[in-house]
Amino acid sequence: LEYIGIDKNGAITIEGTGTVSITANYKETDTQSASAASNPVTLTVNKDNTLTAENFNVTNNNHSYTGEGLTATVTAKDATIAERLGTLNITYHEKANTELGYQKQKEENQRQREENQRQREENQRQREENQRQKEENRRQKEENQKQKEEIAYLKEQNKRNKEEKDRLLKEIEQIKCSLV
């Protein structure tokens, strides 16, 4: 499909060929919870290259545009075409409105692309920050390990110093005793 638009009155405009599923969503209000219809409507538009404008009679198609969707009456000239296609209800809008719809969709697509790009950049910044934090944590862990080793060394040194002090005090005591 080339374009799908919905106006404020709920009229759906489909241009091109393809399939679309339409689900009605109800916005939450003060008196109603948000919800969605349980059975979406699926529409398929197929292109039949064998049909041309000459296969149809178009009447009631000379209107002055008023801002509202206008209708034309379309009937197949051949009964087998009419039987195959069923009833044709045609609503048309001023071309500028369709172009405005295209433009709005393009702008929305561009806005979404920009938002996606911003989100990707933010995710990248977050990954880089996480990497910096991991590196800082690793560095801090190494520093903590070095400090633990230094504390253990100083405790051992302190123990040796105390033993040396005790030995020297005993020696001094022995010397004092021998002098007396």
pLDDT digits 0-9 by tens, 40-49: 777 777 776 6
Q: What does pTM read for this prediction?
A: 0.35
User: For residue 102, which of 16, 9, 21, 10 has the smallest C-alpha distance?
Assistant: 16
Q: Rounded CA gap, 180 and 175, in Å?
A: 9
Give whichever of 48-52, 77-81, 94-98, 106-110 has the largest mean pLDDT: 106-110
Specify the pLDDT at position 92.
59
Task: Return the number of other C-beta atoms located less than 10 Å from residue 90's C-beta.
Answer: 14
Beta partners for 35? 26
Rounded mean pLDDT, 95-105:
64
